[in-house]
Structure 1
Amino acid sequence: MNTYILDSSLLEKFKQAVSDHDDFLINTYSNYNGKNLWSLICSAKDWLSVSVNGLPYIDLTHSHDDVRSLNVLQLITTYDIVLQSIEQLHRVFEMEYPLKKDYSVFNAAVPDDAYFAQIRACFGAHPVDLRSADGTKSTNKYFASWSSDISNFGDNGDYSVYLYSNNPDVVQPIRFSMSFAKIHEYTVKRYSLLSSMINVIEKKDGMFIEEQRQQEIRRRSDIVEQLQILLKENSTRIREGDGYHYDIQTLIELFTAPQDFPEQERQKVAQYLKSLHVLVDELYEAFQSMTYSEDGMAHGHLLHSRSPKFNGLHYDLEKVFEYLNNPYFRADRVDYHLRSLIIEGVLPPYVSRQTDKLDLQLPLLARLTYNEMK
């Protein structure tokens, strides 16, 4: 097992922060100045996970020299993935990268980032096409020998290569060594910057919430117009097609249903529609205050029955709702399920497949709510 690993708990905290604030992150960064930076966030998070979780299994003590040399390259490459991910996340969140001119780890003639790039190049990234022997600018090109551990070189560090110049006047090769402990220290220092990113995500989301609270949502007496306003607010404050989008769209459908059914049924659904006003008010307050309960709306049962009374009808209800919401659902398959719900009194006897879908949905939800309250 490789001992040069990274603290996985920090990665888990970062992943949790992304999950906790994903509505804000997707809404903000899926189209940020014309670029989908949410995809970049996901890519960085995924490759950080691959790197951090894979590091312990890199075998630096393999018995075969060539395999061990490749595994050293794997360690360096894995560290490099971590570094690239951290740098990209800094760009996404418009954070200043604080270690751009840091010399503290390698104490070389160039900043640590440039020196690590030299290590990466010499030990396998492009060892046959080197433009420097130590990370500084050079007029010569260099070519690295195979890498080997210090037991073969007797040098400081853990692994070394010989660098040969393309200049025929330079006869002696240059020995270039690196230490596992040093490249690990260098990587940990940058990986630790995830902590500040977690804080930035939380801060940015908090600022967004406060900004939205300051934006007063328009009030309208017409319920459908009010719902259309809330539908737009859902896209702005949560994200388009998510959050309460489906519930608001359903409410609009319920209030705009033709109601082409007997007068007695109209009276029943009118009472149900009246009860839905409290849910509309609850949605308004949730958007205005930017507070959303994990358990959903207190009056969400008006659209989503939670009563155990309907457990025996779960499959029939599921298929009828699929028929109502899925345009690709084969309509002839719903007849059996409609009959089952009519027999149980969950649907009125006059409905059929020929009934307008909105006029089927309205009494269905009204009766589910009424039966739940009985």
Structure 2
Amino acid sequence: MIKITININSDLIDKFRDKVNENHMFYELYRSNAGKNKWNIICSAMDWLTVVSKGITKINIKNDNGFASNHLLSLNCMQYIVAIDILLESIKQLYRVLDGEDNYPLNKDKSIFKQSEISDDKYFKHIRAVFGTHPVNLKSVDGIRKNNDEKFYASWSTSVLLDYDFSVFLYSNKPEKENIKFGFDIEKINEYAQKRYNLLNDLIKKVDIVIQDHISNKKKIDIKENKNPIKQLEILIKENEERISSQYGYAHQLNYLYRLLKVDIKDDEWKPIIDNYKDCNAP
């Protein structure tokens, strides 16, 4: 049995979750953004990063009885690879939401698998295809599609062949072609996953940047003045809603004052005093 020894600290996704929940302004910025509820995207990504970080080390890849009966091994290996893929896609989604475009910084990185023609992400997608998502319909042996009609089909997974921790045979649809061995080392997959998961440290900083940029931009917008206290409150209530929300900031205080000044006093004894209070410009 092979124990997954990936070094993923689940405290990091908890730290990111605490950061996005730290300031209600962040929620307000993304719950309705460009016509979409992007807060829901963030929540989904956080949930699945929690699932992967807390659950992936509990996957036990058990070799059954050699190459010819690797049923459980194949399923557990697939589970592990798909979990890493969920981690990758969740991190990329967070970058898309927080940056407003695809600024995921490891898009062209080749430092782990060291493939000359394709990035680590593209090569990992090929590993994912071979070991689980569509092993019975592959267009290449190495993730680089050739301009021909050759296709490949993977065998079940095994850990008993040499050269790799986990391997398959790739069968060609060309009668004259020999089977090709393809595999991966779990240490490389772990390193690949850790490097992407640790991007949460950068994403935590981006949350602060998003909030500070919003505050800075709103500070540049002047608030109109009106000598009529009620009109001024209406302006302030609208500005508070646009800058923060209708629920936070000074919303409660402004609406309280607005209701107070809108009270129509009928009692002649108290009316002059109330009118004088309403007209008072003192803070």
Which position in structure 2 is the counterpart of 1:26? 27
Question: 1: CA distance between counterparts of 2:142 and 2:235?
Answer: 62
Question: 2: CA distance between counterparts of 1:105 and 1:22?
Answer: 38
Deviations 1:200-246 (Å, cap 9, x if unpaired)? Answer: 22123212222222333223332221221121121122124444434
Question: 1: CA distance between counterparts of 2:234 and 2:55?
Answer: 49
- Identity percentage of aligned residues: 37
Length, aligned pairs only: 271
Q: For the structure 1 residues 50 and 247, does the alpha-carbon distance in structure 2 shift closer, same or farther, using more than 3 Å as the test?
A: farther
63-72 vs 49-58, which deviates more? 63-72
- Kept after mapping to 1: 8 A contact 2:87/2:197: yes
Which position in structure 2 is the counterpart of 1:122? 130
TM-score by length of 1: 0.65
Check if 1:143 corresponds to 2:153: yes
Which position in structure 1 is the counterpart of 2:242? 236
TM-aligned CA deviation for residue 259 of structure 1: 3.2
Check if 1:161 corresponds to 2:176: no
Q: For the structure 1 residues 235 and 58, does the alpha-carbon distance in structure 2 shift closer, same or farther, using more than 3 Å as the test?
A: same
TM-aligned CA deviation for residue 121 of structure 1: 0.6
1:199 aligned to which of 202, 205, 214: 205
Question: 1: CA distance between counterparts of 2:42 and 2:260?
Answer: 39
Question: 2: CA distance between counterparts of 1:17 and 1:75?
Answer: 28
Question: 2: CA distance between counterparts of 1:143 and 1:247?
Answer: 67
Q: Which gives a bigger RCO, structure 1 or 2 (Cα 8 Å, sep 6+)?
A: 2
Which position in structure 1 is the counterpart of 2:179? 173
Structure 2 counterparts to residues 1-374 of structure 1, below 5 A:
2-23=4-25, 25-61=26-62, 65-92=70-97, 93=99, 94=101, 96-109=103-116, 110-138=118-146, 139=148, 140-149=150-159, 152-153=160-161, 155-170=162-177, 172-260=178-266, 262-263=267-268, 270=274
TM-aligned CA deviation for residue 101 of structure 1: 2.1
TM-aligned CA deviation for residue 62 of structure 1: 7.0
Deviations 1:253-285 (Å, cap 9, x if unpaired)? Answer: 23213334x4567689x39x66x988xx5xxxx
Deviations 1:263-309 (Å, cap 9, x if unpaired)? Answer: 567689x39x66x988xx5xxxxxxxxxxxxxxxxxxxxxxxxxxxx
Q: Which has the higher helix share?
A: 1
- Kept after mapping to 2: 8 A contact 1:5/1:52: no
Q: For the structure 1 residues 256 and 156, does the alpha-carbon distance in structure 2 shift closer, same or farther, using more than 3 Å as the test?
A: same
Q: What code does the residue aligned with 2:204 have? A: I
- Kept after mapping to 2: 8 A contact 1:147/1:159: yes
Question: 2: CA distance between counterparts of 1:240 and 1:125?
Answer: 46
Question: 2: CA distance between counterparts of 1:213 and 1:245?
Answer: 17
TM-score by length of 2: 0.84
Q: What code does the residue aligned with 2:12 have? A: L
- Kept after mapping to 2: 8 A contact 1:58/1:75: yes
- Kept after mapping to 2: 8 A contact 1:102/1:112: yes
TM-aligned CA deviation for residue 196 of structure 1: 1.7
Q: RMSD over aligned Cα, in angstroms?
A: 2.8
- Kept after mapping to 1: 8 A contact 2:154/2:168: yes
Q: For the structure 1 residues 44 and 22, does the alpha-carbon distance in structure 2 shift closer, same or farther, using more than 3 Å as the test?
A: farther
Deviations 1:80-120 (Å, cap 9, x if unpaired)? Answer: 11111111222221363332222211122422111101110
Q: Which segments of 5 or more consecutive residues in structure 1 lack a partner in the other structure?
A: 282-374
